[in-house]
Structure 1
Amino acid sequence: MYFIEFLALPGLRVFNFDLSHWVVLHAGNTNKNAFKALIAAEYSGVKVELVKNFEMGVSNKSPEFLKMNPIGKVPVLETPDGPVFESNAIARYVTRLKADNPLYGSTLIEYAHIEQWIDFGSLEIDANILRWFIPRIGFAVYLPPAEEAAISALKRALGALNTHLASNTYLVGHSVTLADIIMTCNLVMGFSRVMTKSFTSEFPHVERYFWTMVNQPNFRKILGEVKQAESVPPVQSAKKPSQPKEPKHKDEPKKEAKKEAKKEPVKPKVAEAAEEEEAPKPKPKNPLDLLPPSKMVLDDWKRLYSNTKTNFREVAIKGCG
Protein backbone atom coordinates (compact mmCIF):
# COMPACT_ATOMS: atom_id res chain seq x y z
CA MET A 1 0.00 0.00 0.00
CA TYR A 2 1.03 3.61 -0.40
CA PHE A 3 1.59 5.30 2.97
CA ILE A 4 2.76 8.64 4.29
CA GLU A 5 3.97 9.17 7.84
CA PHE A 6 2.78 12.20 9.76
CA LEU A 7 4.95 13.16 12.73
CA ALA A 8 3.21 15.04 15.52
CA LEU A 9 4.95 16.82 18.37
CA PRO A 10 7.77 14.99 20.18
CA GLY A 11 6.45 12.26 22.40
CA LEU A 12 3.25 11.79 20.42
CA ARG A 13 2.36 8.88 18.18
CA VAL A 14 3.35 8.50 14.52
CA PHE A 15 0.29 8.29 12.30
CA ASN A 16 0.25 6.27 9.07
CA PHE A 17 -2.25 7.47 6.50
CA ASP A 18 -3.13 5.23 3.60
CA LEU A 19 -3.06 7.43 0.51
CA SER A 20 -4.19 4.78 -1.95
CA HIS A 21 -7.65 6.35 -1.95
CA TRP A 22 -6.03 9.40 -3.51
CA VAL A 23 -5.22 7.39 -6.63
CA VAL A 24 -7.86 8.37 -9.16
CA LEU A 25 -8.18 6.98 -12.67
CA HIS A 26 -9.55 9.33 -15.32
CA ALA A 27 -11.24 7.28 -18.05
CA GLY A 28 -14.59 5.95 -19.15
CA ASN A 29 -15.95 2.81 -17.54
CA THR A 30 -15.72 0.87 -20.82
CA ASN A 31 -12.14 1.81 -21.70
CA LYS A 32 -10.15 -1.41 -22.14
CA ASN A 33 -6.91 0.43 -21.38
CA ALA A 34 -8.32 1.54 -18.03
CA PHE A 35 -9.21 -2.09 -17.28
CA LYS A 36 -5.49 -2.92 -17.04
CA ALA A 37 -4.96 -0.81 -13.92
CA LEU A 38 -8.32 -1.72 -12.40
CA ILE A 39 -7.69 -5.47 -12.68
CA ALA A 40 -4.13 -5.03 -11.37
CA ALA A 41 -5.60 -3.14 -8.43
CA GLU A 42 -7.98 -6.03 -7.68
CA TYR A 43 -5.09 -8.51 -7.59
CA SER A 44 -2.92 -6.14 -5.55
CA GLY A 45 -5.48 -5.10 -2.97
CA VAL A 46 -5.04 -1.46 -3.98
CA LYS A 47 -7.94 0.95 -4.14
CA VAL A 48 -8.13 2.83 -7.44
CA GLU A 49 -11.07 5.17 -7.79
CA LEU A 50 -12.52 5.53 -11.28
CA VAL A 51 -13.60 9.12 -11.79
CA LYS A 52 -17.36 9.54 -12.08
CA ASN A 53 -19.25 11.00 -15.04
CA PHE A 54 -16.24 10.95 -17.35
CA GLU A 55 -17.31 12.02 -20.83
CA MET A 56 -14.93 11.28 -23.67
CA GLY A 57 -14.37 14.31 -25.86
CA VAL A 58 -15.40 16.67 -23.07
CA SER A 59 -13.69 15.66 -19.83
CA ASN A 60 -10.37 14.96 -21.55
CA LYS A 61 -10.43 18.38 -23.24
CA SER A 62 -10.79 20.36 -20.02
CA PRO A 63 -7.87 22.55 -18.85
CA GLU A 64 -7.53 20.43 -15.70
CA PHE A 65 -7.16 17.22 -17.70
CA LEU A 66 -4.76 18.75 -20.22
CA LYS A 67 -2.47 19.74 -17.37
CA MET A 68 -2.17 16.03 -16.56
CA ASN A 69 -1.81 14.91 -20.18
CA PRO A 70 -1.23 17.69 -22.73
CA ILE A 71 -2.42 15.59 -25.69
CA GLY A 72 -5.71 14.69 -24.01
CA LYS A 73 -5.46 10.91 -24.25
CA VAL A 74 -6.97 8.55 -21.70
CA PRO A 75 -6.49 6.99 -19.26
CA VAL A 76 -4.61 9.20 -16.81
CA LEU A 77 -3.88 8.27 -13.21
CA GLU A 78 -3.90 11.04 -10.64
CA THR A 79 -1.52 10.25 -7.76
CA PRO A 80 -0.23 12.14 -4.69
CA ASP A 81 3.08 12.61 -6.53
CA GLY A 82 1.64 13.77 -9.83
CA PRO A 83 -0.18 12.34 -12.85
CA VAL A 84 0.80 9.26 -14.86
CA PHE A 85 -0.38 8.63 -18.40
CA GLU A 86 -0.01 5.68 -20.82
CA SER A 87 -2.04 2.66 -19.74
CA ASN A 88 0.86 0.21 -19.35
CA ALA A 89 2.77 2.68 -17.19
CA ILE A 90 -0.34 3.20 -15.06
CA ALA A 91 -0.78 -0.56 -14.61
CA ARG A 92 2.87 -0.88 -13.60
CA TYR A 93 2.49 1.94 -11.07
CA VAL A 94 -0.59 0.37 -9.51
CA THR A 95 1.17 -3.00 -9.32
CA ARG A 96 4.18 -1.41 -7.61
CA LEU A 97 1.97 0.07 -4.90
CA LYS A 98 2.11 -3.36 -3.29
CA ALA A 99 5.59 -4.38 -2.19
CA ASP A 100 6.87 -7.70 -3.57
CA ASN A 101 3.80 -8.04 -5.72
CA PRO A 102 3.64 -11.51 -7.32
CA LEU A 103 2.16 -9.87 -10.42
CA TYR A 104 5.76 -8.94 -11.22
CA GLY A 105 7.16 -12.44 -10.70
CA SER A 106 9.64 -13.66 -8.13
CA THR A 107 12.92 -13.65 -10.08
CA LEU A 108 14.74 -11.32 -12.42
CA ILE A 109 14.12 -13.55 -15.43
CA GLU A 110 10.40 -13.72 -14.63
CA TYR A 111 10.34 -9.93 -14.43
CA ALA A 112 12.06 -9.72 -17.82
CA HIS A 113 9.62 -12.19 -19.37
CA ILE A 114 6.66 -10.26 -17.96
CA GLU A 115 7.98 -7.08 -19.57
CA GLN A 116 8.63 -9.01 -22.77
CA TRP A 117 5.01 -10.17 -23.07
CA ILE A 118 3.68 -6.73 -22.12
CA ASP A 119 5.57 -5.26 -25.08
CA PHE A 120 4.53 -8.12 -27.35
CA GLY A 121 0.88 -7.68 -26.43
CA SER A 122 1.03 -3.96 -27.11
CA LEU A 123 3.12 -3.89 -30.28
CA GLU A 124 2.06 -7.11 -32.00
CA ILE A 125 -1.47 -7.84 -30.74
CA ASP A 126 -3.12 -4.56 -29.74
CA ALA A 127 -1.60 -2.44 -32.51
CA ASN A 128 -2.77 -4.78 -35.28
CA ILE A 129 -6.24 -5.25 -33.81
CA LEU A 130 -6.62 -1.46 -33.81
CA ARG A 131 -5.35 -1.20 -37.41
CA TRP A 132 -8.04 -3.67 -38.38
CA PHE A 133 -10.91 -2.31 -36.29
CA ILE A 134 -10.52 1.49 -36.21
CA PRO A 135 -10.84 2.11 -39.99
CA ARG A 136 -13.97 -0.06 -40.10
CA ILE A 137 -15.82 2.16 -37.63
CA GLY A 138 -14.86 5.35 -39.42
CA PHE A 139 -12.08 6.71 -37.19
CA ALA A 140 -9.44 6.28 -39.89
CA VAL A 141 -9.38 5.97 -43.66
CA TYR A 142 -10.27 2.44 -44.74
CA LEU A 143 -7.79 0.94 -47.19
CA PRO A 144 -8.15 -2.76 -48.09
CA PRO A 145 -4.38 -3.34 -48.54
CA ALA A 146 -3.72 -1.83 -45.10
CA GLU A 147 -6.39 -4.05 -43.55
CA GLU A 148 -4.93 -7.15 -45.20
CA ALA A 149 -1.49 -6.26 -43.84
CA ALA A 150 -2.89 -5.74 -40.32
CA ILE A 151 -4.75 -9.07 -40.36
CA SER A 152 -1.68 -10.88 -41.67
CA ALA A 153 0.52 -9.37 -38.95
CA LEU A 154 -2.10 -10.18 -36.29
CA LYS A 155 -2.30 -13.81 -37.41
CA ARG A 156 1.48 -14.05 -37.25
CA ALA A 157 1.47 -12.69 -33.69
CA LEU A 158 -1.41 -14.92 -32.59
CA GLY A 159 0.42 -17.89 -34.07
CA ALA A 160 3.48 -17.15 -31.93
CA LEU A 161 1.29 -16.65 -28.86
CA ASN A 162 -0.57 -19.88 -29.62
CA THR A 163 2.70 -21.81 -29.78
CA HIS A 164 3.79 -20.45 -26.40
CA LEU A 165 0.45 -21.22 -24.76
CA ALA A 166 0.44 -24.78 -26.10
CA SER A 167 2.63 -25.71 -23.14
CA ASN A 168 1.88 -22.85 -20.72
CA THR A 169 -1.29 -21.99 -18.83
CA TYR A 170 -0.09 -18.45 -18.16
CA LEU A 171 2.37 -16.26 -20.02
CA VAL A 172 4.97 -16.37 -17.23
CA GLY A 173 5.22 -18.86 -14.39
CA HIS A 174 2.28 -20.68 -12.86
CA SER A 175 -0.04 -17.85 -11.86
CA VAL A 176 -1.51 -14.61 -13.19
CA THR A 177 1.00 -11.81 -13.74
CA LEU A 178 0.77 -8.27 -15.04
CA ALA A 179 1.61 -9.67 -18.48
CA ASP A 180 -1.60 -11.75 -18.44
CA ILE A 181 -3.66 -8.76 -17.35
CA ILE A 182 -2.39 -6.50 -20.13
CA MET A 183 -2.47 -9.23 -22.79
CA THR A 184 -6.06 -10.15 -21.93
CA CYS A 185 -7.23 -6.53 -21.98
CA ASN A 186 -5.67 -6.14 -25.42
CA LEU A 187 -7.37 -9.32 -26.63
CA VAL A 188 -10.76 -8.16 -25.32
CA MET A 189 -10.98 -5.59 -28.10
CA GLY A 190 -10.23 -8.23 -30.71
CA PHE A 191 -12.51 -10.97 -29.41
CA SER A 192 -15.46 -8.68 -28.78
CA ARG A 193 -15.25 -6.56 -31.95
CA VAL A 194 -13.56 -8.21 -34.94
CA MET A 195 -12.14 -11.65 -34.14
CA THR A 196 -15.02 -14.03 -34.81
CA LYS A 197 -15.04 -17.71 -33.89
CA SER A 198 -14.09 -18.68 -37.43
CA PHE A 199 -11.05 -16.42 -37.11
CA THR A 200 -9.87 -17.49 -33.64
CA SER A 201 -10.47 -21.22 -34.17
CA GLU A 202 -7.11 -21.29 -35.92
CA PHE A 203 -5.53 -20.49 -32.52
CA PRO A 204 -7.11 -22.93 -30.02
CA HIS A 205 -4.59 -22.32 -27.23
CA VAL A 206 -5.18 -18.57 -27.44
CA GLU A 207 -8.92 -19.23 -27.20
CA ARG A 208 -8.49 -21.43 -24.14
CA TYR A 209 -6.20 -18.87 -22.51
CA PHE A 210 -8.49 -15.91 -23.21
CA TRP A 211 -11.69 -17.49 -21.92
CA THR A 212 -9.85 -18.77 -18.85
CA MET A 213 -8.58 -15.27 -18.06
CA VAL A 214 -11.80 -13.32 -18.58
CA ASN A 215 -13.66 -15.73 -16.30
CA GLN A 216 -11.27 -15.30 -13.39
CA PRO A 217 -13.13 -13.48 -10.55
CA ASN A 218 -10.87 -10.40 -10.56
CA PHE A 219 -11.14 -10.09 -14.34
CA ARG A 220 -14.88 -10.70 -14.44
CA LYS A 221 -15.47 -8.09 -11.73
CA ILE A 222 -14.02 -5.40 -14.01
CA LEU A 223 -14.80 -6.73 -17.49
CA GLY A 224 -18.22 -8.18 -16.85
CA GLU A 225 -19.43 -10.82 -19.27
CA VAL A 226 -17.41 -10.92 -22.48
CA LYS A 227 -19.04 -12.16 -25.67
CA GLN A 228 -17.26 -12.96 -28.89
CA ALA A 229 -18.06 -10.99 -32.02
CA GLU A 230 -20.42 -12.80 -34.37
CA SER A 231 -19.33 -10.82 -37.42
CA VAL A 232 -16.78 -8.25 -38.50
CA PRO A 233 -18.34 -4.76 -38.51
CA PRO A 234 -19.04 -3.46 -42.01
CA VAL A 235 -17.03 -0.57 -43.34
CA GLN A 236 -18.88 2.70 -43.01
CA SER A 237 -19.87 3.87 -46.48
CA ALA A 238 -18.67 7.41 -45.81
CA LYS A 239 -15.16 6.16 -45.26
CA LYS A 240 -14.89 3.93 -48.31
CA PRO A 241 -12.28 5.14 -50.78
CA SER A 242 -13.67 6.27 -54.10
CA GLN A 243 -13.59 3.56 -56.73
CA PRO A 244 -11.30 4.24 -59.69
CA LYS A 245 -13.11 4.97 -62.92
CA GLU A 246 -13.25 2.15 -65.43
CA PRO A 247 -10.95 2.64 -68.42
CA LYS A 248 -12.72 3.83 -71.53
CA HIS A 249 -13.14 1.61 -74.54
CA LYS A 250 -10.22 1.65 -76.94
CA ASP A 251 -12.35 3.15 -79.71
CA GLU A 252 -13.61 6.00 -77.52
CA PRO A 253 -10.37 8.04 -77.45
CA LYS A 254 -10.21 7.86 -81.23
CA LYS A 255 -13.79 9.06 -81.53
CA GLU A 256 -13.13 11.92 -79.14
CA ALA A 257 -9.99 12.85 -81.04
CA LYS A 258 -11.97 12.95 -84.27
CA LYS A 259 -14.61 15.17 -82.67
CA GLU A 260 -11.96 17.54 -81.40
CA ALA A 261 -10.35 17.61 -84.82
CA LYS A 262 -13.68 18.54 -86.39
CA LYS A 263 -14.21 21.31 -83.88
CA GLU A 264 -10.87 22.98 -84.71
CA PRO A 265 -11.44 26.08 -86.88
CA VAL A 266 -10.04 26.01 -90.40
CA LYS A 267 -6.95 28.16 -90.62
CA PRO A 268 -6.83 30.77 -93.38
CA LYS A 269 -4.42 30.17 -96.25
CA VAL A 270 -2.38 33.20 -95.26
CA ALA A 271 -1.72 31.67 -91.85
CA GLU A 272 -0.81 28.33 -93.41
CA ALA A 273 1.65 30.01 -95.73
CA ALA A 274 3.24 31.79 -92.79
CA GLU A 275 3.70 28.49 -90.99
CA GLU A 276 5.43 26.82 -93.90
CA GLU A 277 9.21 26.73 -93.75
CA GLU A 278 11.02 29.17 -95.95
CA ALA A 279 12.99 27.72 -98.86
CA PRO A 280 16.74 27.61 -98.12
CA LYS A 281 18.65 30.53 -99.66
CA PRO A 282 21.63 29.75 -101.97
CA LYS A 283 24.98 29.88 -100.17
CA PRO A 284 27.37 32.67 -101.27
CA LYS A 285 30.39 31.57 -103.32
CA ASN A 286 33.74 31.26 -101.56
CA PRO A 287 36.38 33.64 -103.07
CA LEU A 288 38.96 30.84 -102.92
CA ASP A 289 36.89 28.88 -105.39
CA LEU A 290 37.95 31.45 -108.05
CA LEU A 291 41.66 30.54 -107.71
CA PRO A 292 43.25 28.03 -110.12
CA PRO A 293 43.67 24.48 -108.78
CA SER A 294 46.84 23.90 -106.71
CA LYS A 295 49.69 21.80 -108.11
CA MET A 296 50.55 20.59 -104.63
CA VAL A 297 49.77 16.94 -103.90
CA LEU A 298 49.01 16.70 -100.19
CA ASP A 299 49.87 13.00 -99.93
CA ASP A 300 53.33 13.64 -101.42
CA TRP A 301 53.91 16.44 -98.90
CA LYS A 302 52.92 14.17 -95.98
CA ARG A 303 55.25 11.46 -97.24
CA LEU A 304 58.09 13.97 -97.56
CA TYR A 305 57.47 15.26 -94.02
CA SER A 306 57.52 11.76 -92.57
CA ASN A 307 60.74 10.71 -94.32
CA THR A 308 62.75 13.88 -93.70
CA LYS A 309 64.70 13.78 -90.43
CA THR A 310 66.72 17.04 -90.76
CA ASN A 311 66.60 20.28 -92.76
CA PHE A 312 62.91 19.77 -93.36
CA ARG A 313 62.38 23.43 -94.26
CA GLU A 314 64.84 23.39 -97.13
CA VAL A 315 63.76 20.00 -98.37
CA ALA A 316 60.09 20.95 -98.12
CA ILE A 317 60.60 24.16 -100.11
CA LYS A 318 62.37 22.28 -102.86
CA GLY A 319 59.85 19.44 -102.79
CA CYS A 320 56.88 21.80 -103.01
CA GLY A 321 58.43 24.13 -105.57
Structure 2
Amino acid sequence: MILGKQYINMSAIKEELQSVARYFGLSHINIVLDGGNKVPTIQNSGKTSVRGHGTIVKYLARTSHLDYLIGSDVAERAAIEQWLEYRTCFLDRCATDKDVTTILKELNMYLADKVYFVGHHMTLADIVLFHGLHCIVGDMTHQEKEIFMNVSRWFSNMQQNENLRQDLRCLNFQKTPIYLNCHH
Protein backbone atom coordinates (compact mmCIF):
# COMPACT_ATOMS: atom_id res chain seq x y z
CA MET A 1 0.00 0.00 0.00
CA ILE A 2 1.18 3.49 -0.78
CA LEU A 3 1.87 5.49 2.35
CA GLY A 4 0.48 9.01 2.40
CA LYS A 5 2.40 11.85 3.99
CA GLN A 6 1.06 12.60 7.45
CA TYR A 7 2.20 16.21 7.42
CA ILE A 8 4.23 18.59 5.33
CA ASN A 9 7.89 18.08 6.19
CA MET A 10 9.32 21.57 5.78
CA SER A 11 12.89 20.36 6.31
CA ALA A 12 12.44 18.00 3.33
CA ILE A 13 10.97 20.88 1.29
CA LYS A 14 14.02 23.00 2.19
CA GLU A 15 16.38 20.19 1.11
CA GLU A 16 14.43 19.79 -2.12
CA LEU A 17 14.66 23.52 -2.87
CA GLN A 18 18.41 23.46 -2.23
CA SER A 19 18.67 20.49 -4.61
CA VAL A 20 16.72 22.46 -7.24
CA ALA A 21 19.08 25.41 -6.67
CA ARG A 22 22.05 23.09 -7.32
CA TYR A 23 20.31 21.80 -10.47
CA PHE A 24 20.16 25.41 -11.68
CA GLY A 25 23.83 25.93 -10.83
CA LEU A 26 22.97 28.18 -7.88
CA SER A 27 24.51 26.24 -5.01
CA HIS A 28 25.50 29.52 -3.31
CA ILE A 29 21.85 30.38 -2.58
CA ASN A 30 20.89 29.72 1.02
CA ILE A 31 17.34 28.70 1.75
CA VAL A 32 16.15 28.95 5.34
CA LEU A 33 12.94 28.07 7.14
CA ASP A 34 11.65 31.44 8.31
CA GLY A 35 9.04 32.30 10.90
CA GLY A 36 6.74 30.23 13.07
CA ASN A 37 5.27 28.43 10.08
CA LYS A 38 8.77 27.53 8.87
CA VAL A 39 8.15 28.92 5.38
CA PRO A 40 11.07 28.34 2.98
CA THR A 41 12.73 31.70 2.35
CA ILE A 42 15.65 33.19 0.45
CA GLN A 43 16.93 36.38 2.02
CA ASN A 44 18.55 38.58 -0.61
CA SER A 45 21.33 40.46 1.21
CA GLY A 46 19.32 43.39 2.52
CA LYS A 47 16.71 43.19 -0.25
CA THR A 48 13.25 41.75 0.02
CA SER A 49 12.97 38.06 0.72
CA VAL A 50 11.56 35.42 -1.60
CA ARG A 51 9.12 33.17 0.27
CA GLY A 52 7.25 29.98 -0.54
CA HIS A 53 7.93 26.89 -2.64
CA GLY A 54 6.48 28.01 -5.99
CA THR A 55 7.90 31.51 -5.74
CA ILE A 56 11.36 30.21 -4.89
CA VAL A 57 11.52 27.70 -7.77
CA LYS A 58 10.47 30.39 -10.26
CA TYR A 59 13.06 32.75 -8.77
CA LEU A 60 15.75 30.08 -9.13
CA ALA A 61 14.83 29.40 -12.77
CA ARG A 62 14.87 33.10 -13.63
CA THR A 63 18.10 33.75 -11.72
CA SER A 64 19.82 30.91 -13.59
CA HIS A 65 18.60 32.35 -16.91
CA LEU A 66 16.89 29.06 -17.78
CA ASP A 67 13.72 30.90 -18.74
CA TYR A 68 12.59 28.11 -21.09
CA LEU A 69 11.81 26.08 -17.95
CA ILE A 70 9.12 28.57 -16.93
CA GLY A 71 7.38 28.58 -20.31
CA SER A 72 7.88 30.02 -23.76
CA ASP A 73 4.51 31.76 -24.01
CA VAL A 74 1.63 32.91 -21.83
CA ALA A 75 -0.26 29.60 -22.14
CA GLU A 76 2.79 27.52 -21.12
CA ARG A 77 3.58 29.84 -18.22
CA ALA A 78 -0.02 29.56 -17.00
CA ALA A 79 0.05 25.75 -17.27
CA ILE A 80 3.35 25.62 -15.34
CA GLU A 81 1.87 27.90 -12.66
CA GLN A 82 -1.08 25.53 -12.40
CA TRP A 83 1.23 22.55 -11.76
CA LEU A 84 3.28 24.48 -9.20
CA GLU A 85 0.04 25.29 -7.40
CA TYR A 86 -1.14 21.68 -7.74
CA ARG A 87 2.08 20.51 -6.11
CA THR A 88 1.64 22.84 -3.12
CA CYS A 89 -2.13 22.57 -2.69
CA PHE A 90 -2.67 18.87 -3.39
CA LEU A 91 0.46 16.73 -3.56
CA ASP A 92 2.15 18.21 -0.50
CA ARG A 93 -1.02 17.86 1.53
CA CYS A 94 -1.70 14.16 0.99
CA ALA A 95 -2.54 12.75 4.41
CA THR A 96 -3.95 9.30 3.61
CA ASP A 97 -3.43 6.45 1.18
CA LYS A 98 -6.70 7.48 -0.46
CA ASP A 99 -5.34 11.02 -1.05
CA VAL A 100 -2.18 9.61 -2.65
CA THR A 101 -4.14 7.19 -4.82
CA THR A 102 -6.44 9.99 -6.00
CA ILE A 103 -3.43 12.15 -6.94
CA LEU A 104 -1.76 9.25 -8.77
CA LYS A 105 -4.97 8.49 -10.70
CA GLU A 106 -5.27 12.12 -11.78
CA LEU A 107 -1.62 12.36 -12.83
CA ASN A 108 -1.74 8.99 -14.58
CA MET A 109 -4.74 10.04 -16.67
CA TYR A 110 -3.14 13.39 -17.46
CA LEU A 111 0.11 11.78 -18.62
CA ALA A 112 -1.64 9.18 -20.81
CA ASP A 113 -0.67 11.01 -24.02
CA LYS A 114 2.17 13.20 -22.74
CA VAL A 115 5.89 12.85 -22.16
CA TYR A 116 6.11 15.99 -20.01
CA PHE A 117 3.55 17.91 -17.98
CA VAL A 118 3.74 21.04 -20.16
CA GLY A 119 4.86 21.20 -23.78
CA HIS A 120 7.43 18.98 -25.43
CA HIS A 121 10.37 19.39 -23.07
CA MET A 122 11.05 19.35 -19.36
CA THR A 123 9.79 22.42 -17.51
CA LEU A 124 9.66 23.64 -13.95
CA ALA A 125 6.42 21.66 -13.56
CA ASP A 126 8.28 18.40 -14.20
CA ILE A 127 11.10 19.36 -11.86
CA VAL A 128 8.88 20.12 -8.86
CA LEU A 129 6.55 17.18 -9.45
CA PHE A 130 9.51 14.81 -9.79
CA HIS A 131 10.84 15.91 -6.41
CA GLY A 132 7.39 15.88 -4.84
CA LEU A 133 6.62 12.37 -6.08
CA HIS A 134 9.98 10.73 -5.37
CA CYS A 135 9.04 9.37 -1.91
CA ILE A 136 5.59 8.31 -3.09
CA VAL A 137 6.87 6.48 -6.18
CA GLY A 138 9.70 5.01 -4.11
CA ASP A 139 7.15 3.42 -1.76
CA MET A 140 5.05 1.95 -4.59
CA THR A 141 5.03 -1.80 -5.24
CA HIS A 142 5.74 -3.08 -8.75
CA GLN A 143 2.01 -3.78 -9.10
CA GLU A 144 1.18 -0.16 -8.21
CA LYS A 145 3.82 1.06 -10.66
CA GLU A 146 2.10 -1.00 -13.36
CA ILE A 147 -1.32 0.37 -12.41
CA PHE A 148 0.02 3.92 -12.66
CA MET A 149 2.11 3.14 -15.74
CA ASN A 150 2.01 6.66 -17.20
CA VAL A 151 3.32 8.16 -13.97
CA SER A 152 5.93 5.40 -13.84
CA ARG A 153 6.99 6.03 -17.46
CA TRP A 154 7.28 9.78 -16.85
CA PHE A 155 9.12 9.28 -13.55
CA SER A 156 11.56 6.76 -15.02
CA ASN A 157 12.31 9.21 -17.84
CA MET A 158 12.85 12.10 -15.43
CA GLN A 159 15.17 10.19 -13.10
CA GLN A 160 17.56 9.54 -16.00
CA ASN A 161 18.64 13.18 -15.65
CA GLU A 162 21.46 12.86 -13.10
CA ASN A 163 21.58 16.60 -12.49
CA LEU A 164 17.92 16.53 -11.53
CA ARG A 165 18.12 13.33 -9.47
CA GLN A 166 21.37 14.25 -7.68
CA ASP A 167 21.43 12.39 -4.36
CA LEU A 168 17.96 10.87 -4.69
CA ARG A 169 18.07 7.14 -5.12
CA CYS A 170 17.35 5.73 -8.55
CA LEU A 171 14.05 3.84 -8.41
CA ASN A 172 13.52 0.45 -10.01
CA PHE A 173 10.67 -0.11 -12.45
CA GLN A 174 11.55 -3.67 -13.51
CA LYS A 175 10.16 -6.74 -11.76
CA THR A 176 13.36 -8.70 -12.22
CA PRO A 177 16.15 -6.17 -12.48
CA ILE A 178 19.28 -7.30 -14.20
CA TYR A 179 20.69 -3.85 -13.56
CA LEU A 180 19.25 -0.59 -12.34
CA ASN A 181 18.31 1.49 -15.38
CA CYS A 182 19.89 4.77 -14.27
CA HIS A 183 22.88 6.42 -15.81
CA HIS A 184 25.74 6.99 -13.38
TM-score class normalised by the smaller sequence: 0.7 to 0.9
Match of 2:148 in 1: 203
Paired residues for 1:73-222 under 5 Å: 73=38, 75-80=40-45, 81-99=47-65, 101-128=67-94, 131=95, 150-192=96-138, 194-221=139-166
Give the partner amino acid of 2:105. Answer: G
CA displacement at 1:100 relative to structure 2: 6.6
CA displacement at 1:180 relative to structure 2: 0.6
Is this contact kept in 1: 2:21–2:27, CA < 8 A?
no
Distance in 2, matches of 1:33 and 1:164, equals 28
Distance in 2, matches of 1:161 and 1:71, equals 33
Is this contact kept in 1: 2:71–2:123, CA < 8 A?
yes
Distance in 1, matches of 2:150 and 2:103, equals 13
- Indicate the structure whose relative CO is greater, using CA pairs within 8 Å and at least 6 residues apart: 2
Paired residues for 1:247-262 under 5 Å: none
Distance in 2, matches of 1:226 and 1:79, equals 34
CA displacement at 1:97 relative to structure 2: 1.4
Distance in 2, matches of 1:157 and 1:224, equals 22
Query: Secondary structure at the residue paired with 1:166?
Result: helix
Is this contact kept in 2: 1:36–1:88, CA < 8 A?
no
Distance in 1, matches of 2:69 and 2:57, equals 11
> May I ask how many residue pairs the two structures share in their alignment?
162
Is this contact kept in 1: 2:130–2:155, CA < 8 A?
yes
Match of 1:39 in 2: 20
After TM superposition, the score normalised by the length of structure 2 is: 0.73
CA displacement at 1:162 relative to structure 2: 0.9
For structure 1, which runs of at least 5 residues remain unmatched after alignment? 1-26, 52-64, 132-149, 229-321
Over the aligned positions, Cα root-mean-square deviation in angstroms equals 2.7
CA displacement at 1:37 relative to structure 2: 5.1
In terms of Rg, which structure is larger?
1
Paired residues for 1:1-80 under 5 Å: 31-36=12-17, 38-39=19-20, 42-43=23-24, 45-49=25-29, 69-71=34-36, 73=38, 75-80=40-45
Match of 1:226 in 2: 170
